[in-house]
């Protein structure tokens, strides 16, 4: 059965740790290889992208394969061709598809009819590859050497309970660390993700805590994480959200309540002066651009893991 990556929960703890180890090896010795020689990755974009597009393209090239950019506006889907027909056709040409989509259900439908791996490059529900790269960054910064060591960490996510927050919840539930989610009332993560995470938590020993006060939320944090207050598709809400989310800004005052060795993460792009200040994102605790670089290395590991699977 073809294995897809639509959710971070499509992986288990051991697989996530192995992906991070593989990515670290790729990072340590960055060169062109022949892991995916002769294979082509189709990259479908319904939304704008910088890090996802470039990191997947460079990763595929450096693994010896071909990245093929497919703008959704140029495909026959725009003219009414069904997703099942598109999946069946592209499966005859490609080794895999990475898709950045408006709706998670569209990616799921593509996967149901494809005979090649489908990798989510972001939907409104999850952003699995982003958080895999973030886990790699956390393991690298804190020199995590064993899976069990992750149990000692707390990630504090402050801001909108969006797709990135959802993937962090599932990651904490799978890997067994503590995640503190600090979001305004009315902007908490979706119930279906909470239920999915709760079921996984029972097996891992991890914890997800919901805390309204940002200063309390960062008190024991190893990682303080934020994202834009208005995700793609919600730009019309930006002014309204600014008023609601202002107390949730990651700034020097808030970071004074976090441990001195805590690091700051942001998945980018950042709206500087809104969810995070220049002083913090450019400061000594920021590992934001390490995160951005690590998207390339984790993407290599993901592509090898999924595109080398037996037919």
Kindly list the domain boundaries of the chain, sorted by start residue.
Answer: 8-126+292-307, 132-287
Pick the catalytic residue: 130, 249, 291, 299?
130
Q: Structure tokens of 25?
A: 């090896």
Of the candidates 4, 100, 241, 305, the residue annotated as catalytic is: 100
CB 226 within 8 A of CB 250: yes
Q: C-alpha distances in angstroms, 22 versus 97, 132, 212, 281, 297?
A: 21, 12, 37, 28, 8
Q: What is the pLDDT of residue 71?
A: 81
The segments of the chain whose pLDDT lies below 70 read 1, 233, 310-311
What is the value of pTM for the model shown? 0.96
Please say if 100 is a catalytic residue: yes
Please report where in the chains the tokens 């595109």 appear, as a residue.
Answer: 307
Judge if 8-126+292-307 and 132-287 fold alike in CATH terms.
yes
Annotated active-site residue in 46, 227, 285, 291: 227
Beta bridge partners of 67: 41
Is 192 an active-site residue?
A: no
**pLDDT at position 236:** 78
Asked if 127 is an active-site residue, the reply is: yes
Rounded distance between C-alpha atoms, residue 218 and residue 193, angstroms? 23
* Residue 267 is a catalytic residue: yes
Contact at 8 Å (CB) between 227 and 275? yes
Rounded CA-CA distance 32/131 in Å is: 25
Report the SS3 class of residue 89: helix
CATH fold of the domain at 8-126+292-307: Rossmann fold (3.40.50)
CATH of domain 132-287: 3.40.50.1370
* 18 classed as catalytic: no
Among 51, 127, 241, 266, the active-site one is 127
Which of 166, 266, 295, 305 is flagged as catalytic?
Answer: 295
The answer to whether residues 263 and 286 touch, using CB atoms and an 8 Å cutoff, is yes
Q: Are 139 and 131 in contact (CB under 8 A)?
A: no
The confidence score (pLDDT) of residue 310 equals 63
Active site residue 272: no
Q: What is the pLDDT of residue 23?
A: 98
Q: Which of 160, 267, 297, 299 is catalytic?
A: 267
Q: Identify whether the C-beta of residue 43 lies closer than 8 Å to the C-beta of residue 70.
A: yes
Give the pLDDT confidence score for residue 75 in this predicted structure: 85
Q: How distant, in Å, are the alpha carbons of 129, 209, 229, 230 from that of 56?
A: 10, 33, 26, 25
């Amino acid at each position: 059965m073809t294995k897809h990556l639509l959710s971070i929960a499509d992986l288990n703890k051991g697989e996530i740790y192995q992906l991070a180890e593989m990515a670290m090896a790729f990072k340590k010795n960055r060169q062109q290889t022949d892991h995916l020689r002769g294979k082509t990755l189709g990259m479908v974009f319904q939304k704008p992208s910088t890090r996802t597009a470039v990191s997947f393209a460079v990763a595929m090239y450096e693994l010896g394969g071909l990245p093929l950019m497919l703008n959704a506006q140029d495909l026959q889907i725009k003219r009414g061709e069904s997703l099942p027909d598109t999946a069946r056709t592209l499966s005859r040409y490609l080794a895999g598809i990475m898709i950045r989509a408006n709706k998670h259900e569209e990616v799921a439908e593509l996967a149901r009819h494809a005979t090649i791996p489908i990798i989510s490059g972001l939907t409104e529900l999850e952003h699995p590859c982003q958080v895999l790269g973030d886990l790699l960054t956390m393991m690298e910064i804190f020199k995590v050497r064993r899976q069990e060591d992750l149990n000692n960490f707390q990630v504090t996510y402050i801001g909108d309970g969006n797709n990135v927050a959802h993937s962090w919840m599932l990651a904490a539930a799978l890997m067994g660390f503590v995640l503190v989610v600090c979001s305004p009332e009315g902007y908490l993560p979706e119930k279906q993700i909470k239920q999915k995470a709760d079921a996984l938590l029972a097996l891992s020993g991890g914890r997800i805590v919901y805390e309204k006060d940002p200063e309390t939320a960062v008190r024991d944090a190893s990682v303080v994480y934020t994202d834009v207050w208005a995700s793609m598709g919600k730009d019309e809400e930006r002014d309204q959200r600014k008023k609601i989310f202002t107390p949730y800004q990651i700034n020097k005052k808030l970071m004074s309540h976090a441990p001195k060795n805590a690091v700051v993460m942001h998945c980018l792009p950042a709206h500087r002066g809104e969810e995070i200040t220049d002083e913090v994102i450019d400061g000594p605790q920021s590992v934001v651009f390490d995160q951005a670089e690590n998207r390339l290395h984790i993407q290599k590991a993901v592509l090898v893991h999924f595109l080398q699977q037996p037919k």
